[in-house]
Chains A and B, each alone.
Chain A
Amino acid sequence: MRVEDPRLVTGAGRFAADWNLPGQLHAHFVRSDRAHAEIVSLETGAARKHPGVRAIFTGADAVRAGYTKPMHTLAFPGKGGMQTRAPERPALAHGKVRFVGEALAMVVADTAAAAQDAAELIEVQYRELAPVIAPEQALASGAPQLHESVPGNLSLEAEAGDAAAVEAAFARAAHVTRLKVEVTRVAPNPMEPRACLVAHEPQDDSYTFHVCMQGVTTLRRQMSVYTGVAEDRMRFVAHDVGGGFGQRTPAYPEYCALMLAAKDTGRPVKWVSTRSEGIACDTHGRANIIDGALALDRDGRFLGMRLDWVNDMGSYLSPASQGHVRNTSTCMTGVYRIPALYASYRVALTNTNPVSAYRGAGRPDVAYAIERLVSRAAAELGIDTAELRRRNFIPPEAFPYKTPTGSTYEYADLPGVLEKALKLADWRGYPKRRARSEKTGKLRGIGIATVIENTGAGQAAKDEVELELDARGHVTVHTVSKSQGHGHETTLAMIVADALGIPRERVAVRQCGEDRQHRLQGNHTGGSRSTVGAGSVCHIAARKLIEHCRGLAALELGVEPSQVDYAKGAFRSRESKRAVKLGELAGTGPVSVVGEGKFGSTFPNGCHIAEVEIDPGTGAAQIASYCAVDDIGTVINHAIVEGQLHGGVVMGAGQIFGEHVVYDLESGQLMTGSFMDYCMPRAGMVRAIRGAEHPTPSKVSPLGVKGVGESGCTGSLPALANAVADALRPLGVAHLDMPLTPAKIWHAVRDARKGGN
């Protein structure tokens, strides 16, 4: 049982929309129903007169306040030293709208219903402009232009690796496998809709936000950059956060608009998003097109790989847009020794909702591209897919391994992981299972993915954790990381309790506490980094607390610190055998220490093997079995880690089999704007995951842990797609882009059979 559970199973959790402040007003946003248009006029007169309305804000107010330049993180030089062209984005659209759902006005009223009623009275006149939705079209000449400051809709062109080396490798290759894939645009959809309640304090011109967030430091910095309000003038309150997956990281324009309203009206202003608003306006994930080629020699050894990316970022750069370029070049070699690598990136802007980090932030995308290429190469060459992988693994003795794109992998036992997975999945027994499926008229396929990913090192200078010991001998852990379901209160407490040798019940975890959030440095929870970062520092801080208290205990016991032993919450003098308990040292006031550390990336890796069974009559694919062997280093809490893997695998399955944000290519209208059309995974999608751990402790962390939050979907995207490809290959279907809906599979089977006849 997690520490978090008792309140969450009884309805006593406190999520963003559960907060209310006396005198609060309610905001409703007017959103664009056009994908690309000039705002000719905005008539707010009737709305202002509507009963209960207190104020209305438009793009002009956002511009006047200077809330126009959100932070972006594509802050590295591109090809030929190119600088990122980052468009402005007024917190409320001004002059022009660039995607369906973009907020252009905000009504503030006594009730949410009154605000919405009044919002309908606002009349917007548009002059429509042609939209461009597909990123490759946006980059073509003659495409409609979104921003004057971004010619050709090209925000950044970047590259990684060595183009000449790759060219040479391809020139001497015995075989080249080519595959262009799309990793589709999806909506992260954490179950808690976004909500934010902002209060302004005129005394010191400061703001308090009750908001769903992934941690205070990143959000605060981004909000400060966006609004120019100093970081020490902002406080953030979040207790329970209903999922994040990257989407709760950024500073959203709505929050800035609410600041305007709170200051102007002198009242707290609350906004609760609907799901439909969320699907349209909360940042999307993935949205990458990758044109790949893999060169192999006569023996099936990899010589070189080239990936040409088009990264669709939507209409504006989100503050977390770098992952699709950075993470995908960091782990571009995958788990393989590939002597020559080259990647090119073209970051495109389109008339769609901005794209940002989503569980993996590029890592699942690149794993998908590589693993599809490798499985396809194996099929083309008639080599067993597991054998081709085995032949090309980075061997255990080659670690630490410096990759051709400049990153260094710490360690991985790839053959060990693979063999364990093959055994778990009964790889050898597969032909029998396939035959059995065929007898019932089903197509069966098996898919394998061997993957590795860098976890987030974080942008903060260091991670800090404060431990506060009280007179009861209880310890409070203060951290600026923030669980959105990860179970920090349990895992971090276990780490501290373990280091101190005290029961977990005596350790409480406070995340982003108001009294600590400006004092402590650290990273938000994202990029699978919190146990590696905050968790490791919990351990370091606990050691520090022991040493600090040893001195206090020595004074108490009248001996030298070196004569004092610590165990299970008590210090004992070796001479007198007298003891003093931890709590007694805090008798005159709490004892506090701050631990710190800076940690690089860890490299969790694993092998996932999936089997699918397809009903050719309907095209429906069932996941018949799923096995996952993961090296995520030392495990603190097995149930939590297993839960992260389950969630990640099924999230990947959701994307492979159904999830897809679809815009109409002509009009730019959102076609999947609610759960009626956006296909969320449901119970039964993955019935069971047979899993096994294969830990090789990381040396990056004193705990030996590696990140785990994102590895599930990094493995499942390629494993499941490879399984479907394997099932369809005998029919002559070489590749299908996700989502592999029943309709898409059925069409492919029908067309293949037609062709065959």
Chain B
Amino acid sequence: MYALNYVKARSLEEAARMLASHPEAKVLAGGMTLVPTLKQRLARPSHLVDILQLAELRGIAAKGGRLSIGAASRHDDVATSVVVKKAIPALAELAGLIGDPQVRNMGTIGGSLANNDPAADYPAAVLGLGATVFTNRREIAADEFFQGLFATALEEGEIITRVVFAVPKRAAYAKFHHPASGYAMAGVFIALTRDGVRVAVTGAGPGVFRWKAAESALSKSLEPSALEGAALDASELNQDIHASRDYRANLVRVMAKRALAKLSGKK
């Protein structure tokens, strides 16, 4: 790790001020991606602005068909929250599949979303549920928030404060683990929302994306066979030493079917 300065922000405002005055500063939340990245000297921030402890970023609450999760909520908080389990059990389940127990004890939802790793789990839920990302400046719809490989709508110095989910009728997530890293080789989140079916895919492409063909197929029928005909362009998926595009495309289809089976109460 390169030498850097650590600052523990006392308020969101102070954090924003620090980021504004130090263009090379980075926000540190749980650090589960950032610290390993720094250790490999792949980034060289001048400052780390720690926001993990900020009360403004804490808290999980459900009210009026909406579930609000503070950005500094750890994965384990979400996975074990009775509020989340009651409102959107699939989200709690997804959080419990991220990384490993030690990572879930540190990593946060805000950190995961801001990083937008193409194989991270949370983006699938946030996009699949059509959630809204609140920042210290504005609110951003999930459909606008994710912009491909490690790219988001966040501007310089903008900090995620919480994520608000509209509670769906039903939702389910199925994930195929990358055998080495534990990230998603393919993860599919299906949600039956008031506005229709949403299907979000992580791990398979250069960034989380909505599988529109599956959405329209499922809006007609929730039978797994409905997915057979849903088009999926393998040429737009990732290919690496672990998996070909075709294999990833297959995994997307298989995970979608598994999510669907969960959705229908079949295991």
Residues of A within 8 A of B (CB): 113, 117, 120, 276, 617-620, 658, 662, 671-672, 675-680, 741-743, 746-747, 750
Contact = CB atoms under 8 A, between A and B. Distances in A.
A747 B244 contact: yes
Contact of B251 (A113, A117, A618): A618
B179 A675 contact: no
Contacts of B2: 117
B255 to A, nearest CB: 9
A614 to B, nearest CB: 13
B193 to A, nearest CB: 27
Which applies to chain B's interface (DSSP): helix, strand, loop or mixed?
Answer: loop
Interface of B: 1-3, 40-41, 176, 179-181, 241-244, 246-247, 250-251, 254
B241 A672 contact: yes
A676 B181 contact: yes
Contacts of B41: 120
Given A662-B241, A746-B247, A741 B181 contact: no
A617 B254 contact: yes
A615 to B, nearest CB: 9
The 6 lowest CB-CB distance pairs between A and B, nearest first, are A679-B180, A617-B254, A676-B181, A743-B247, A679-B179, A743-B243
Contacts of A675: 180-181
Contact of B247 (A117, A671, A747): A747
Contacts of A743: 242-244, 247
A678 B180 contact: yes
B179 A741 contact: yes
A197 to B, nearest CB: 22
Contacts of A658: 179-180
Given A662-B241, A676-B181, 11 more contacts: A113-B3, A618-B176, A618-B254, A620-B176, A672-B180, A672-B241, A675-B180, A676-B180, A742-B179, A743-B243, A750-B250
Contact of A677 (B176, B242, B251): B242
Contacts of B241: 662, 671-672, 677
Contacts, number: 48
A144 to B, nearest CB: 23
A671 B241 CA distance: 8
Contacts of A117: 2-3
Nearest to A615: B254
B254 A677 contact: no
Contacts of B181: 675-677
B262 to A, nearest CB: 15
B242 A741 contact: yes
A72 B266 CA distance: 61
28 contacts: A113-B1, A113-B3, A117-B2, A117-B3, A617-B254, A618-B176, A618-B251, A618-B254, A619-B247, A620-B176, A662-B241, A675-B181, A676-B180, A676-B181, A677-B181, A677-B241, A679-B179, A679-B180, A680-B180, A741-B242, A742-B247, A743-B244, A746-B247, A746-B250, A747-B246, A747-B247, A750-B246, A750-B250
A676 B250 CA distance: 23
A742 B178 CA distance: 10
A399 to B, nearest CB: 43
A288 to B, nearest CB: 21
Contacts of A671: 241
B259 to A, nearest CB: 13
Nearest to A616: B254
B34 to A, nearest CB: 15
A658 B179 CA distance: 8
A750 B253 CA distance: 14
Contacts of B254: 617-618
A618 B203 CA distance: 15
Contacts of B247: 619, 742-743, 746-747
Nearest to A671: B241
A702 B142 CA distance: 73
A322 B32 CA distance: 43
A671 B239 CA distance: 13
Contacts of B176: 618, 620, 742
A677 B183 CA distance: 11
**Which of A617, A672, A743 has the most C-beta atoms of chain B within 10 angstroms of its own C-beta?**
A743
B185 to A, nearest CB: 8
A117 B41 CA distance: 10
Contacts of B40: 276
Contacts of B180: 658, 672, 675-680
**Which of B3, B41, B250 has the most C-beta atoms of chain A within 10 angstroms of its own C-beta?**
B250
A621 to B, nearest CB: 11
A276 B181 CA distance: 14
Nearest to B186: A618
